[in-house]
Amino acid sequence: MKRLWGGLGGIHYAWVILAVSFVAIFAGSGLRGSFGVFLKPLEADFGWDRAALSGVAALSLLLYGAAQPVIGRLVDTYGVRRVMAVSLLLLGLAALATAFVQELWQLYLTYGVILSLAAGGPSTVAVSAIAANWFATRRALVIGIATSGISAGQTLLIPFAMWLIVSFGWRVGYVGLAAIVCVVAAPLVWLFVRDEPADLRLRPFGSGSPAAAATAAASGPERGTSLAAALRSAPFWLLAGSYFICGYSSNGLIGTHMVPYAIEHGVGDLAAASALGLMGAVNTLGAIAAGYASDRYGRRHPLALTYFLRGLATLWLLTVRDAWSLHVFAVIFGLSYVATVPPTTALTADLFGRRSVAFLFGWIFLAHQMGAATGSLLGGVLYERTGGYEVAFVSSALACFAATAMVLAIRGPARPRVAVAPAT
């Protein structure tokens, strides 16, 4: 495979791994993140209320997070190729089973439990291991590119799911998404992903360069930190706390409740879904830009700015009454949606060592999903009690401003210093 790829232009195989990881995250996140467009069809078909369905989303988000430390350990033990491919296959089969549910408990089992645990495979935890193993430089940018697959999944698969729902019904929507995961993403991962450059007798991309040496020195390439030691440090709790707010304010509230909120404020079904898709497109730019900025300017300030921008965007959402204003929100919020991932992952490596990044980021990501579960469930409960989402959205904005302060309070290495050779 090395010889074949070299003959196709000499591009380092690390970029193939990155491209396939993008596709895997694209398919997995598009499927997992589409639950919001299924809410109203499920309500209409079965008569289940918003709080009960929000409970499904909350359980899904929580278990997806709980899977991340386990995924990190499985990746360390069995390799990212096996873990990601098997997870994608189970993910597609769970979506197919969801298409045939008849009772609420079945939805909790198929989507809330099985699908959500399987979705932990094609995730940022796996990508963090790929970045650490296959790239000696620009790891934050690489993570930004790979995780922009989350945004691409929203951009294309969520509107696609809405089109299937409107045209053929919500059951066909799940069947279509399952086919993409099982037939496209899983085989690509199995065929092309490799765990280590040594498997193909290669070195990591950028090995031997001055930038690689500086990055290795900054992130402590041979250093690792145990979970117990991390739990005793203030930076770990500041990172985990801010990432809890990230999940609360994005996947939890916006991911679950934005579409029904928009529809109930005069925006059409397809227009609401297209705004979610636009948000995904802007997410891609935000994630890549955040990765670049984190490598060039440090981790803390881009991350703090991201949370502040998100808080402002959430306040704007309270003014939405038509498709135009919703799409403005989608652009502003989209710049911050996935942009937290590259600097948070890079900060984890900087503070605790490259050898610990997959495992410890898995625990930090669990905090993110606990926040997402809280936001999803609380959004539904507050909707039922107050008749709207205003209280929930205000709480989200205030929490984002608090996350800005938490990130700025982190102390420790946050910017790789690249040594520049004197001119000769």
Instruction: Report the predicted TM-score, pTM, of the whole model to 2 decimal places.
Output: 0.71
The answer to whether position 388 is within a domain reads: yes
Residue 387 has pLDDT above 90, yes or no: no
User: In terms of pLDDT, which residue wins out, 6 or 314?
Assistant: 314
How many Cβ atoms from other residues are within 10 Å of residue 411's Cβ?
A: 12
Q: What is the spatial distance between Cα 282 and Cα 190, in angstroms, rounded to a whole number? A: 30
Looking at residue 169, its pLDDT comes to: 92
In which band, very low, low, confident or very high, does the pLDDT at 208 lie, cut at 50, 70 and 90? low
The answer to whether position 423 is within a domain reads: no
The answer to whether position 35 is within a domain reads: yes
Say which CATH number the domain at 313 has.
1.20.1250.20
Copy the structure tokens of residue 341.
């991932």
The answer to whether position 420 is within a domain reads: no
pLDDT in tens, 5-58: 444 456 889 889 999 999 999 999 889 888 878 988 998 899 888 778 878 887
The answer to whether position 415 is within a domain reads: no
Q: Which residues contact 228 (CB under 8 A, 6 or more apart)?
A: none
The answer to whether position 207 is within a domain reads: no
- Give the three-class secondary structure for 388: coil
Domain coverage including residue 398: 2-196+212-408
137 dihedral zone (left: phi>0; alpha: psi -120 to 50; beta): beta
Strand (E) or helix (H) holding 200: none
Question: In whole angstroms, what separates CA 142 from the centre of its chain?
Answer: 14
pLDDT in tens, 72-113: 888 878 888 999 999 999 999 999 999 999 999 999 999 999
In which band, very low, low, confident or very high, does the pLDDT at 354 lie, cut at 50, 70 and 90? low
The helix, strand and coil proportions of the chain, stated in percent and rounded to the nearest 5, come to: 80, 0, 20
The answer to whether position 131 is within a domain reads: yes
Copy the structure tokens of residue 329.
């929100």
Backbone phi, then psi, for 135, in 5-degree steps?
-130, 125
The answer to whether position 295 is within a domain reads: yes
How many Cβ atoms from other residues are within 10 Å of residue 191's Cβ?
A: 11
Task: Count structural domains, the chain.
Answer: 1
How many Cβ atoms from other residues are within 10 Å of residue 51's Cβ?
A: 16
Copy the structure tokens of residue 43.
């309500």
Residue 215 has pLDDT above 60, yes or no: no
In which band, very low, low, confident or very high, does the pLDDT at 309 lie, cut at 50, 70 and 90? very high
Q: What is the spatial distance between Cα 219 and Cα 238, in angstroms, rounded to a whole number? A: 19
